[in-house]
């Protein structure tokens, strides 16, 4: 991971498979700017799951739904009701499935004691021959459980219905964790809730015992491990030491039911004694109430006895909370000028999660959670109800919501002072590619709307700690956040994209004082980009430029130049708002736009002019950076074709991505709209494949493979494919699929955009891949939050807090859609040309509504 992105380190992919699953969405109403192409309806195939509907049968196989807080850690609620992916120690632990489970026991009923989970998915069984000895979830797999389940996601809630012929109760499970935009703090709590709902469907009274049991999965070597008492529950604990403070950790499990009894210590013995005796107690409907024993209790259980008359119902609220305040985690190299400050501040030595600044211990967290549970649930449900009022196509709603789970995953972090810092994705047990990587997080649109304060903190880090006086930005920031050492290329797309995102954050926040303060840094950044990549002042990114493909493109590219033009336009717009003279930048923008639209456009799409001999950069064999060594055979290719890892005459799916980001940032199209549209339709025509069966991919094939469909990163329909095109060129990335889809939608090509979305979600239908974990170089990969851009892509809905304007430009006729701002959230509806805003939470002041360029009154 040194300097480069380290994506090759993510070697453990999740597998392949899953046939297409289509949902009829009805014919989309033709909007004024919608494509005139015939809109074919997707076919519903027998046995295939419809979009945004429950998961059951084979589609439950891989379902694992994250529950937790932003930067606080998580666990997953699986489609069966099991708990897995337990990652609460400030580090991913994707295959950590602790031996913890809920159970129901019905007195006097044969086969009346069962784990409150459905059958174990078949894929888990092979290879776990010693599962029971390690205290993992495999230890519980042999216990009786329900026959089947159905799982339905309504982010951040997950609902499971359990079914079993032996049990005369209707059983539902609801898992959730707080999520109330734009309140980042309530969404960053180290907590999760599981609600077990029972209804007596029989004709007689049923006497029941609910229990929740767990081994002490928090235990650590060479320190004291114990199980402590908390109100109506227990806490699994490990003490830290002076040498290893990161070992300290607590995980609390409790209820709000005063009838709760707790066995703080399972039977102590060898082999399987503890779990064996715990299960016997459950089978016999026994109630145990034993105090803590001090150190080395193997596990604990809580019990809630209850009786239900025919037709009666009961919900048991199980509350989980954790507290791991210390780590040994730090990333990056501190600039020597910042070393004295860092050495003097303990909070800058190693990462400490934000919640450790709010709570002193696990008791504080558990008390806050139980005291505020109802209020947080009410507000979170308000968000969910509002979000799902959307009438957008179900595959779009599903894709957006599924990728909001990234904000619950270990991909995202908040340091002690609350600032946002992130990985690109989550490795199996490591963070994948550090530093809030600018060229990856360019794609992610969700945070800027849902939690604008967090997104704006990324801009502050980029332009202050990660930018030097010259204007050079390191695209990876340190953790804890400190001044970086500038020892690697700037990323052209990341740095130029950051300038556009400053405009976005300004418009979303309405804070012109913030813009004034950061403006000199923005100008320095843009000037650096011009000096470095456009030294001749042509308005074109021409010199070798590092980018999200972990290589440098040599010569002018439509890809990077679209970013350059977008950044110039953003800077011009911001400068004029501040009364600055920008005539020189306007000249540069005009020259670059003319060049790109004439010299880089081949009549169908934008491409690259490979150059290397006429540039200021040195010999490519000596100048390139990441894994691009030139052996003798590579030098032959250099003389014949130019530098390795280019795209030349290819149609790059990201070829006008700067134009998409410009639109996402509240700016206009930096390029001619028709040429942009032509490029995007060419991407769909040439790069979108309904089957990859005949596609050869020597790179990382399991993102999309075999009979699956997907959008290739690049193809060469006019010939000219290089011997060694840019790395990853044969791959399929969900984040680029959604970026292209939303850009197509913006351009009125709705059906083509939906083609891509469907292919993506068909791969993630639960059969072989987790629907709530779209991976690239890591699980829960941040790029996939480009999916949020489809809201604006379809509806044109955008709120400008500077001018208090609501913009609507529908591509789908009448609609209702979700809107989140820095001050509240609600829905926007367009019906028969009349706009309506319904604020559900907070406030959204509107002085003017602009519908497809025309000022209108709110209905």
- The DSSP code for 205 is -
Query: Where does the pLDDT of residue 294 fall: very low under 50, low under 70, confident under 90, or very high at 90 and above?
Result: confident
Q: Which of 311, 275, 288 is nearest to 169 (CA)?
A: 311
pLDDT at 36 over 70: no
> Which helix (H) or strand (E) covers residue 195, if one does?
strand 191-200
pLDDT of residue 10: 35
The percent of residues in the chain predicted with pLDDT above 90, rounded, is 90
CA distance 450 to 233: 34
479 CA to centre of own chain: 20
Average pLDDT over residues 28-32: 33
pLDDT value of position 40: 42
Confidence at 60, pLDDT banded by 50, 70, 90:
very high
The residue whose two tokens read 């709530």 is: 772
Nearest to 229 by CA among 289, 291, 287: 291
> Whose CA is closest to 439, among 498, 384, 500, 397?
498
How far is residue 360's CA from residue 342's CA, in Å, rounded to a whole number? 24
State residue 132's pLDDT score.
61
Q: Quick check: helix, strand or coil at residue 745?
A: helix
Contacts of 707 (CB under 8 A, 6+ apart): 19, 691, 692, 693
Q: Give residue 46's pLDDT band: very low, low, confident or very high (50, 70, 90).
A: low
Between CA 302 and CA 293 the distance in angstroms is 15
Percent of the chain residues topping a pLDDT of 70: 93
227: pLDDT strictly greater than 60? yes
What's the first-to-final CA gap in the chain, in angstroms? 54
3 state DSSP class of 441: helix
Separation between Cα atoms, residue 430 and residue 424, nearest integer Å: 11
Nearest partner of 356 among 436, 245, 229, judged by Cα: 245
Residue 37 is predicted with a pLDDT of 35
pLDDT tens-digit map of 536-551: 999 999 999 999 999 9
Rounded CA separation 69/185 (Å): 9
Tell the residue number behind the tokens 């004029």, with chain if given: 576
Answer whether residue 15 shows pLDDT above 90: no
User: Distance of CA 457 to CAs 187, 454, 505, 776, Å?
Assistant: 16, 5, 10, 25
As a whole number of angstroms, the distance between CA 139 and CA 499 comes to 52
Report DSSP letters for 8-45, one per residue: GG-----------------PPPPPTTS--S--PPPPPP
**Which of 5, 55, 735 shows the shortest CA–CA distance to 65?**
55
Contact by Cβ (8 Å): 689, 594: no
Q: How many residues can be counted in the chain?
A: 859
Average pLDDT of the residues of the chain: 93
Distance in angstroms (rounded) separating the CA atoms of residues 793 and 179: 24
* Token pair for 243: 């040498």
* pTM (predicted TM-score): 0.94
Residue 158 backbone dihedrals phi, psi, to 5 degrees: -130, 130
Burial of 261 (0-12, 13-18, 19+ CB in 10 A): middle
Backbone angles phi, psi at 235, to 5 degrees: -130, 125
Q: Strand pairing partners for 303? A: 211, 261
pLDDT band at 321 (very low <50, low <70, confident <90, very high): very high
Instruction: Look up residue 607 and give its two tokens.
Output: 């491409």
Is the separation of the CB atoms in 167 and 347 below 8 Å? Answer: no
Helices (H) and strands (E) in the chain, counts: 19, 34
Query: Which residue carries 């007596």 as its tokens?
Result: 200
Beta-bridge partner residues of 313: 199
d(CA 65, CA 171): 19
pLDDT band at 29, cuts 50/70/90? very low
């Amino acid at each position: 991971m040194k300097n480069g992105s380290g994506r090759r380190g993510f070697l453990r992919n999740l597998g392949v498979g899953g046939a297409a699953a289509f949902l009829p969405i009805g014919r989309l109403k033709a909007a004024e700017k919608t494509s005139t192409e015939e809109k074919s309806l997707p076919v519903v195939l027998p046995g295939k799951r419809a979009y945004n509907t429950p998961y059951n049968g084979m589609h439950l196989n891989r379902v694992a739904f994250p529950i937790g807080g932003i930067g606080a850690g998580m666990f997953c609620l699986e489609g069966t009701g099991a708990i897995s992916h337990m990652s609460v120690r400030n580090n991913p632990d994707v295959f950590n499935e602790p031996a913890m489970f809920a159970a129901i026991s019905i007195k006097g009923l044969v086969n009346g004691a069962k784990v409150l989970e459905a059958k174990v998915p078949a894929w888990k069984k092979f290879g776990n021959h010693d599962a029971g000895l390690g205290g993992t979830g495999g230890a519980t797999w042999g216990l009786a459980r329900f026959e089947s389940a159905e799982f339905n996601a309504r982010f951040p809630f997950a609902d499971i219905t359990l079914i079993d012929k032996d049990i005369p109760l209707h059983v539902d499970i609801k898992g959730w964790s707080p999520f109330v935009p734009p309140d980042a703090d309530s969404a960053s709590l180290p907590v999760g809730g599981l609600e077990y709902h029972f209804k007596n469907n029989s004709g007689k009274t049923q006497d029941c015992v609910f229990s929740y049991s767990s081994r002490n999965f928090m235990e650590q070597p060479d320190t004291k491990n114990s199980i402590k008492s908390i109100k109506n529950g227990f806490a699994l604990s490990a003490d830290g030491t002076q040498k290893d403070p990161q070992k300290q950790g607590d995980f609390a499990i409790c209820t709000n039911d005063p009838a709760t009894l707790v066995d703080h210590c399972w039977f102590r013995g060898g082999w399987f004694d503890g779990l064996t005796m715990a299960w016997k107690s459950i089978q016999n409907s026994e109630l145990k109430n034993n105090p803590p024993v001090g150190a080395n209790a193997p596990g604990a259980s809580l019990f809630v006895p209850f009786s239900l008359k025919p037709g009666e119902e009961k919900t048991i609220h199980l509350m989980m909370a954790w507290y791991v305040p210390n780590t040994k985690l730090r990333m990056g190299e501190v600039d020597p000028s910042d070393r004295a400050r860092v050495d003097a501040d303990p909070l800058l030595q190693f990462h400490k999660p934000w919640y450790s600044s709010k709570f002193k211990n696990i008791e504080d967290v558990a008390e806050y959670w139980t005291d505020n549970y109802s209020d947080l649930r009410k507000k979170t449900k308000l968000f969910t109800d509002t979000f799902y009022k959307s009438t957008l196509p179900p595959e779009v709603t599903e894709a957006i919501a599924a990728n909001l789970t990234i904000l619950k995953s270990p991909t995202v972090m908040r340091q002690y002072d609350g600032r946002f810092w992130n990985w690109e994705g989550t490795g199996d047990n490591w963070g994948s590619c550090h530093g809030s990587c600018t060229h990856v997080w360019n794609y992610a649109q969700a945070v800027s709307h849902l939690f604008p304060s967090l997104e704006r903190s990324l801009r502050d880090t980029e332009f202050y700690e990660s930018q030097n006086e010259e204007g050079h930005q390191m695209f990876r920031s340190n953790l804890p956040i400190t001044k970086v050492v500038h020892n690697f290329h700037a990323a052209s797309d990341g740095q130029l994209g950051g300038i556009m995102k400053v405009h976005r954050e300004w418009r979303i926040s309405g804070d012109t004082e913030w813009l004034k303060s950061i403006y000199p840094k923005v100008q320095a950044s843009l000037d650096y980009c011009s000096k470095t990549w456009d030294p001749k002042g042509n308005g074109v990114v021409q010199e070798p430029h590092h980018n999200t493909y972990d290589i440098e493109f040599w010569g002018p590219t439509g890809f990077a130049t679209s970013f350059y033009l977008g950044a110039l336009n953003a800077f011009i717009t911001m400068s004029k708002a501040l009364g600055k003279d920008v005539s020189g930048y306007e000249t540069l923008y005009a020259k670059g736009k003319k060049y790109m639209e004439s010299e880089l456009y081949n009549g169908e799409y934008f491409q690259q002019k490979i150059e290397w001999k006429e540039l200021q950069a040195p010999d490519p064999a000596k100048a390139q950076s990441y894994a691009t060594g030139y052996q003798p055979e590579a030098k032959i290719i250099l003389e014949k074709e130019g530098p390795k890892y280019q795209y030349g005459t290819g149609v790059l799916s990201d070829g006008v991505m700067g134009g998409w980001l410009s639109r996402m940032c509240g700016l206009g199209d930096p390029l001619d709209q028709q040429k942009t549209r032509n490029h995007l339709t060419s991407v769909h025509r040439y790069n979108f494949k309904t089957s990859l069966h005949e596609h050869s991919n020597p790179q990382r094939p399991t993102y999309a493979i075999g009979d699956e469909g997907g959008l290739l990163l690049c193809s060469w329909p006019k010939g000219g494919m290089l011997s060694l095109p840019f790395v990853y060129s044969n791959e399929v990335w969900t984040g680029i699929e959604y970026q292209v889809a939303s850009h197509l939608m913006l351009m009125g090509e709705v059906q083509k955009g939906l083609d891509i979305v469907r292919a993506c979600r068909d791969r993630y239908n639960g059969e072989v891949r987790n629907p709530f974990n779209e991976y690239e170089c890591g699980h829960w990969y941040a790029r996939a939050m480009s999916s949020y851009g489809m809201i604006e892509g379809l509806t044109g809905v955008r709120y400008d807090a500077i001018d208090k304007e609501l913009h609507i430009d529908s591509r789908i006729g009448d609609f209702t859609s979700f809107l989140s701002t820095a001050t509240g959230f609600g829905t926007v509806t367009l019906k028969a040309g009349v706009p309506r805003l319904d604020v559900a939470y907070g406030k959204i002041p509107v002085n003017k509504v602009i519908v497809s360029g025309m000022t209108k009154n709110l209905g």
